[in-house]
Amino acid sequence: MRVLVQNCATGLYLAENCNWMSSYRDALNFMGTVQALDYCVEKKMENVRIVLKFSDSVEDVLLPVTSTGCQS
């Protein structure tokens, strides 16, 4: 499982140096959800979610970071 941060508006994934990438394979992989959430709070990120990415994408879990969440 990978723990990623995704921009809800663009669908891009957070990568090194605050860059955004279209492929989750190029994304920054956090040690856990707490670390990903701490990062988002520290950087005051909005309109993002944490994605728990599994090898079978049907099992992926999407966790909104802010109270407004991501509008699907």
The model scores a pTM over 0.85: yes
* Strand duo 13-14 + 20-21: pairing: antiparallel
Which residues, 6 or more positions from 58, have their beta carbon under 8 angstroms from its beta carbon? none
Q: What is the pLDDT of residue 12?
A: 97
Give residue limits of the domains in the chain: 2-64
pLDDT 10s per residue in the chain (72 long)? 999 999 999 999 999 988 999 999 999 999 999 999 999 999 999 999 999 999 888 899 999 997 666 765
| Cβ contact 44:67 at 8 Å | no
- 64 pairs with which residues across the strands? 49
Report how many helices (DSSP H) and strands (DSSP E) the chain contains, helices first: 1, 5
Tell me the one-letter amino acid at 62. Answer: L
Q: What is the pLDDT of residue 66?
A: 78
Q: What is the pLDDT of residue 58?
A: 87
Q: What is the pLDDT of residue 2?
A: 97
